Structure 1
Amino acid sequence: MTDLLIDVGNSRTKWILAEDGHVRGAARAVGHDDLVPLYDEWAALRAAPQRVRGVSVGGGEAVAAIDQWITDHWGLAPQWLQTPALGGGIRVAYADPGQLGTDRWLAMVGARAADYLPACIVDCGSAITLDVVDSQGRHQGGLILPGLSAQQAGLASVAPRLPTVDLATKTPFLTNNTHDALASGYLHGTAMALQGLIRRAMAASTERLTPLFTGGDATLIARYLDMDVRLRPDLVLEGLASIP
């Protein structure tokens, strides 16, 4: 069975095709402000998918537009998953599973499907989330902090005279100008914060956790870490693919 899998985040929509529970290739992404390239790519597929499944943590208007396009062009009704208390081999720690973003649950499902448990999963998107899962698929809890773009937007709201910076793959730690100082703070600061959090999670665990990074900024942030991590950019979609 061919599935079209969709991940509607806070700022971007990612998609990938899956065959019999396994993703094919790498995910593609577009911003919510222009979905036309997304529709063009779907229209160019050699055959329509047999099923459409998705997860949405933002972009309500994007979800409605995507639903309409898929119904109009393929006659399919997308299935948007919600976080269960127990599903995909993961037992969620939240007393109210509905408060846990479905993308976080699916990242844990993806880690289990890829045989990475026990793991400390860091999803680097508009928000950065960290979740710990033991070898039995029991979620130990997690935390949320602002992502790189959210940090820039937040600082700009209180200090609008500071420049917006492009975040490079090689930014020095100590700098001699405001532009690079901001970039260093965002990149080195975020990496060191995550590194400290991961090490604290490891120290608190009775099992040896695998640090697992996913999300749009995962590769960039990982370059500034002083520790080895596994990169799995499409972990949420991998988890979605593995759900029967």
Structure 2
Amino acid sequence: MLERIRRETEDVGQAAEAKVKAMIEWLDEENEIYQENKTLVDKIRQLAAQDSYLGYIEAKDIATSLISRYHLIQKTVRINLLRQIASQDNHLRRYEIYWREYPLKGFFRTVGPLLHETRQKLNYAATLAKSDQANAFKQARRMAEETASGLKEMVTIAGRMTFLENVINVLRSFGKYLLIAEVIAFVIAAFVIPIGSSAITHLYPDLNWAVFENIEQYHKHAFGIGSVAGFLVAIVLTLRDTPRS
């Protein structure tokens, strides 16, 4: 009976050791689970070295558990990678939509190729991650890591893109308000005030209304004040419309 249990333990132990070695294809060597399983393989050897019935029984149980654990680990790491890829896909889609609608593409000519390359890697990773082959999984994990690097680069670029777009929008808003304010100031200075002054002078001839005796000097000062006022009004209105971060 001892000989039979010894042979069974050796067979199962060798199979378990092979599975643990194969885990390196699915886990990093520094991974805590991988290191724990390596320790269990050493324990199987120690128990078998006792050459006792109870030692073989315990070693066989541990080996059987390791074989089952291998398949569970394989399934778990594949699921985790697929979830990671799905999350990356969501982030990448947002950047792709943002880029399609971005009005200032000429300032960021590297974004299009970067998104295209990242999309190709991610699609390839998604296909490989569905395979049961360890080599395919390793390739998928590497592609997912490269995708993560591309997405990280896009975070920085997207920040610059948003900043530039905000600056352009602020300048456009300021220019619009400045033009409107200057036109209003011009109309008031050139027409409203002189016409109003003439009407007052006509109605009240005894009133000393000497402001417009030198019309050229008046226009010079009025337009200057109007320009400054229009500029300040444009700044205030632009600040009002600028989104607060």
So what's the TM-score if we normalise by structure 2?
0.21
Which has the larger share of helix? 2
Which has the larger share of strand? 1
So what's the TM-score if we normalise by structure 1?
0.21
Greater relative contact order structure (CA < 8 Å, 6+ sep): 1
Higher-Rg structure is 2
